[in-house]
Amino acid sequence: MRTARPPKEIPPPLELECLKALWEIGEANVRAVQQQMEPRKRLAYTTVMTLLERLAKKGGVARRKVGRAFFYTATVEREAMRRKAVQELADSLFDGSMDLLRNYAVHGVVASVAVAAEERSDGRLDAALL
C-alpha cells in the first residue's frame, strides 16, 4: 500500500501566478488579479476565481467581502515562498544539501552557460548575458 505524500508547500504554477499578481498589486479582486496576470498568462475570469478560491482554502490568500465582490491578499510573503522553493529543490535534487545546490549554481550553471555560448556562433547569447 502506498503512503500519501505530504502536500507540497509550493503551490502549482497557476496558483503561484495568482500569488505573484497579488505580491505585485497587494489586495485585489478577481478582475484585477486577472489583468495583472495578463502579460504572462491569459486566463478566463472564472479560472482565476477558482485559483484564488483554492489558495484561500489552502491558506495562501485571505479574502474579504466588499459588497458582492471578494478581495484577496497574499498571506505568504514572496521571500518565504522563495526560501521554501529553494529548500524543496535542494531536498528533491541535491539530497537536502544547500552546499551541493550552491556549488551547482555557481559551477554547474556557469559551465552550462559557457558551453551554450561556445555552441552559439552568432554571439546573441553573449550579448544577452552582458
Instruction: Please state the pTM of the whole predicted model.
Output: 0.75
Segment 85-100 shows an average pLDDT of 93
The verdict on 94 and 64 lying in the same domain is no
Q: Smallest Cα–Cα separation from 30: which of 5, 58, 54?
A: 54
Residue 91 has what pLDDT? 95
* pLDDT over threshold 60, residue 7: no
Q: Is residue 89 part of a domain?
A: yes
* pLDDT over threshold 60, residue 97: yes
Burial readout 26-52 (b: 16 or more C-beta within 10 A, e: otherwise): eebbbebbbebbeeeeebeeebbbbbb
The verdict on 60 and 95 lying in the same domain is no
The verdict on 47 and 89 lying in the same domain is no
The verdict on 56 and 92 lying in the same domain is no
Domain of 90?
78-129
Average pLDDT over the chain reads 86
